[in-house]
Chain A
Amino acid sequence: MDKNKSDTGQPGPLQVFEDHVSQGEFRIQQCKDCGSHVFYPRYLCNHCGSSELKWVEVSGRGIVYSTSVVRRKPERGGDYNIALIDLEEGPRMMSRVMDVDPDQVTIGMAVSAHIGLIDDKPAVVFYNKEQGDKEW
């Protein structure tokens, strides 16, 4: 799935990431030169500047770095969680913890990634670790 930089006309890294998610896969980039994992998807490594980025599987394990609840009227779908998750590989991402009441998500909570749906669109979401393993 490595992109071929000599080819024009290929989707960019953000599109590739979203295509993976649509196919039920959660992959992020890793720099071939400095070894850093990179997220969000970029054309250049934000650590060393290299364009030699490859797509890799992740463990899916993460820790909640911070969490909040967007308050929304029940008739509009109700409250939902927004959390920042520190992935085991290093990068941090925004997501939602789905299987815990939105205000019961806690900083430091261990979570694992799944491909879920938000408003019928596939998205990387997280579950409290005890309640399920990696599912993509």
Chain B
Amino acid sequence: MVASLRGSAAVVGVGLTEFTGLPGMNHMEIMARAVERAILDAGIQKNEIDGIFSANFVELLTPLTVAEYFGLNPTYMDGTNTGGSVFVNSMQSAAAALHLGLCNVALICYGSNSATGPFTHPPAMHTVEDIYKPRNPITPYALAAARHMHEYGTTKEQLAEVAVSARKWAQLNPAATMRDPLTVEDVMTARMIVDPLGLLDCCLVSDGGAAMIMVRSDRAKDFPKKPVYMLGVGSRTDHNLISAMPNLCVTPAKAAAAAAFAMAGVTPADIDVVELYDAFTINTILFLEDMGFCQKGEGGHFVSNGNIAPGGSLPVNTNGGGLSCVHPGMYGMFLMIEAVQQLRGECGERQVDGAKLAACNGNGGFLASQVTAIFGTEDTL
């Protein structure tokens, strides 16, 4: 049944804001800046948008706010919140809604002023973990890293290789926030935050907005840019609290990616470019393993010696990732947009030559929500 979503929808417009220099703008204003650019990219009028997919960490009724803000009367809205993975999840919902005709032009959008705005958050449910004061979100990922190091001998140096590779990609991306040279030693000697994760094992805190416009594939060629097709998607979760995660070394990305690859009818070996939610260095290692780019436990070895950096065997996080490009709190949108731009061939110095298939994995909560998406160019349909 889900196989029918393969190739059913396409991305026809994307928009990104700057990632710094937006002080004084609230999250909606930053979002609007991205939406304006996505509308322009897709060559549509804003009133053509009839599906809204939006979530953030600062308010509860986001789709209503978005509809009102842009003066829209959508026929379909989705404000599901699965944390940072949400927009990859939204992409699945948008594809389904488009397929069923519940909407015709889907807008997925996000804005955040995490770096320069006041920190606000809706109240969270009280849990049995609260009294121990984990430093969330870092502690859960540190616990996963410690367990991975214990089970598979993964080292601090291998974690550092992830950060260094991300930085090398960022150095090829003029829009990336952090572009200064970075060494493994710099990462390993950075101030410890939550052992075993140091400051440079942790993602940025950025401002930033991102927006994406999707339509049914039968209309995809009516828009100015080269369409990028959704070939597969899978969304899974197995916990919310880190203490409820069955196995800290195997995330729900294993099942999510298996579903996405099965729908797309491709394997990890076919993928040209990979965009993973690297909130922390351990993420990249876990997701490469869980998605099948290497064996479980071999992720640390896989990311070493520049293997995922420019010039390596597998281009991973080609914009510089959450570690060096941008991380406004919910990064899932940014990794999909990087995949789209790679498949369009718009990425300049960091362009992966001839990229036709991209795999994305969005991560939400504390390794809790994993949503894998496979995108392809027209000739992969």
Contact = CB atoms under 8 A, between A and B. Distances in A.
Partners in one complex: yes
A13 B198 CA distance: 37
Interface string A28-42: 000000000001110
B248 interface: yes
Contacts of B147: 65-66, 107
Nearest to A118: B131
Which range holds the interface residue count of chain A? Answer: 20 to 34
Nearest to A92: B243
B307 interface: no
A73 to B, nearest CB: 11
B169 to A, nearest CB: 28
Contact of B128 (A17, A80, A108, A121): A17
A94 B243 contact: yes
Contact of B131 (A68, A80, A123): A123
A92 B195 contact: no
B96 to A, nearest CB: 28
Interface in B194-253: 194-196, 241-244, 248
B133 A68 contact: no
Given A65-B147, A67-B143, A94 B195 contact: no
Interface stretch (B8-16, B20-28, B134-142): B134-142
B132 interface: yes
Contact of B150 (A71, A82, A95, A107): A107
B61 interface: no
A110 interface: no
Interface string A92-122: 1111100000010001100000000011010
Contacts of A48: none
A70 B131 contact: no
Contacts of A39: 128
A68 B132 contact: no
B86 interface: no
A84 interface: yes
B139 A121 contact: no
A27 to B, nearest CB: 13
Most chain A beta-carbon contacts within 10 A, residue among B135, B142, B196, B243: B243
A58 interface: no
Contacts of A118: 131-133
B194 A70 contact: yes
A14 interface: yes
B192 interface: yes
Nearest to A40: B128
Contacts of B303: none
Contacts of A84: 143, 242-243, 248
B242 A68 contact: no
A69 interface: yes
Given A84-B242, A92-B244, A66 B131 contact: no
Contacts of A123: 131-132
A66 B147 CA distance: 5
A70 B135 contact: yes
B131 A121 contact: yes
Given A40-B241, A69-B194, A107-B147, A82 B134 contact: yes
13 contacts: A66-B146, A66-B147, A66-B150, A71-B195, A82-B143, A84-B242, A84-B243, A94-B241, A94-B243, A95-B132, A107-B150, A118-B132, A121-B131
Which 7 pairs show the lowest CB-CB distances between chains A and B? A68-B142, A69-B195, A66-B147, A66-B143, A94-B243, A40-B128, A107-B150
Given A40-B243, A82-B194, A118-B133, 11 more contacts: A39-B128, A65-B248, A66-B248, A69-B192, A69-B195, A71-B191, A82-B133, A84-B243, A95-B132, A118-B132, A119-B133
